[in-house]
Amino acid sequence: MRTLVKLVGCALALTPLIGNSADFVVVHAGKLMSIPGESVKSKQSIVIRDGKITDVKSGYISASSLNITKDDTIKIHDLKNKFVLPGLIDGHVHITDELDNKHKIRRVEFSDPDTALFGANNAKHTLDAGFTTVRDLGGRGGDSVFALRDAIAKNYIPGPRIYAAGFVISPTGGHGQRHGYRQEVFEVVNHSGVCDGVADCRRVVRDQVRRGADQIKFVATGGVTSETAAGTGQQFFDDEIKAIVDTAHALGRKVAAHAHNADGLNAALRAGVDSIEHGTFSDKESLRLFKKTGAYLVPTLLAGATVTEIAMSENSYYPSAVKAKAIKVGPKLIETLRVAHDNGIKIAFGTDSGVSKHGLNAREFELLVQAGLTPTEAIQTATVYGADNLGKSDVLGSIEAGKYADIVAVDGDPTKDIKELMDIDFVMKEGAVYKQ
């Protein structure tokens, strides 16, 4: 209860930051990367109304140049000494969880409200880091992630816009289930995303959509952090994977597949999945299928670096089965991404934060550059490509008329030094400033 009260107080203390909008908002940008991948322009003005961008103009415009009445209000944000770019998108987080030596007991001790408020704290850290949109690919605590998503959307609390998948869909005993608990406890922490067989998998997808899932996530292979020595190979059968993907698409939902080994990864690609999360042991057939289907690779390099660091620590809390997988998988992710990038595979930004600490999401940019992307290409993964991966290019990913006024700013030029994105100085989401 003490944790719950502390988090409620934290959330309430932060809410006044939301109430700073005006009829018109103008941002004066010294350097503006409005569409990542295109030229950076100097001395630009971004005009915003009702949370969306209405225009981007050359020069620093004044209130008198806008078509406003005497009753309209206007607020101008001076970022003339800043580098301005679109709000960042993290396409793979677990906002209601965080991996540490207490995460396993939290699943037992936390109620659903505790979990939602724990997520609210994580959400604020994420927003402060410049990530104005996230895709949550597996939320804990029943409907906690949906409640958090909706509370942020209604401006009850600050946080990034959330597209939530609900429960991870997993076969019995698969990576998406909880492991390492005695049976009586397992019955408490287990969730409704488990299915076996084609008909059952169709049912579970439909149930996630009924619960409010924006997208669907399933485990095509085993995973690193599940406490079982089941490896990282294929877990669902091909017909089950096809049933999941086809049902989700029939209900208008994109599908993300957690996949490490090539067997399950390729089965997911053949079934028409929209993105592969991790993709650790991709092979030549994987590359061919990526190109054929147009699916995105979300490499989650930060998760790989994090699990390797924990596994190699002399104070590691990993059980032996997890440690062995972490040491094998973690270092491989950068090598895999380098090959994918060289072969022109579409890449979208995703950290798997929750494995790493929330708020450190921008570390992924450094790892992307280490894997061979240019700084501009790395920024594209978290903006224009991140929006496309979500199916939201009409409202996200760039600073253009008609899109949400999601804007961040830094002191230096991240196209020259990607580490600039580790220190975000200004965060705006839908025209409201959350960090300045």
Pairing of strands 88-93, 74-86: unpaired
Q: What type of residue is 64?
A: S
Residues 129-167 have pLDDT tens digits of: 999 999 999 877 668 999 999 999 999 999 999 999 999
* Rounded-to-integer distance, Cα 266 and Cα 279, Å: 10
Cβ 165 vs Cβ 277: under 8 Å: no
Q: And the tokens for 22? A: 């005006």
Question: Which residue spans of the chain are classified as CATH 3.20.20.140?
Answer: 88-390
Closest to 235 (Cα-Cα) out of 213, 268, 207: 268
Percent of the chain with pLDDT over 90: 71
- For the segment 316-343, the average pLDDT, to the nearest whole number, is 77
- For the segment 108-112, the average pLDDT, to the nearest whole number, is 78
Banded model confidence at residue 180, pLDDT cuts 50, 70, 90: low
- For the segment 302-306, the average pLDDT, to the nearest whole number, is 87
Banded model confidence at residue 172, pLDDT cuts 50, 70, 90: confident
Q: And the tokens for 404? A: 């949400």
Cβ 355 vs Cβ 121: under 8 Å: no
DSSP per-residue string spanning 4-28: HHHHHHHHHHHGGGG----SEEEEE
Cβ 94 vs Cβ 138: under 8 Å: yes
Q: Count CA atoms closer than 13 A to 257's CA, side-chain side.
A: 37
pLDDT of residue 63: 83
Architecture of the domain delimited by 13-87+397-435 = Roll (2.30)
Question: Which residue spans of the chain are classified as CATH 2.30.40.10?
Answer: 13-87+397-435
Residues 370-397 have pLDDT tens digits of: 999 999 999 999 999 999 999 999 999 9
Residue 266 has pLDDT above 80, yes or no: yes
Mean pLDDT score of the chain, rounded to an integer? 88
CATH value of 88-390 in 3.40.50.300, 3.20.20.140, 3.40.50.720, 3.40.190.10: 3.20.20.140
* Cβ neighbours of 318 (radius 10 Å): 21
Banded model confidence at residue 103, pLDDT cuts 50, 70, 90: low
Residues 183-213 have pLDDT tens digits of: 655 555 556 689 999 999 999 999 999 999 9
* Rounded-to-integer distance, Cα 409 and Cα 435, Å: 10
Residue 313 has pLDDT above 80, yes or no: no
pTM strictly above 0.75: yes
- For the segment 405-416, the average pLDDT, to the nearest whole number, is 98
Q: Residue 49, SS3? A: strand
Banded model confidence at residue 240, pLDDT cuts 50, 70, 90: very high
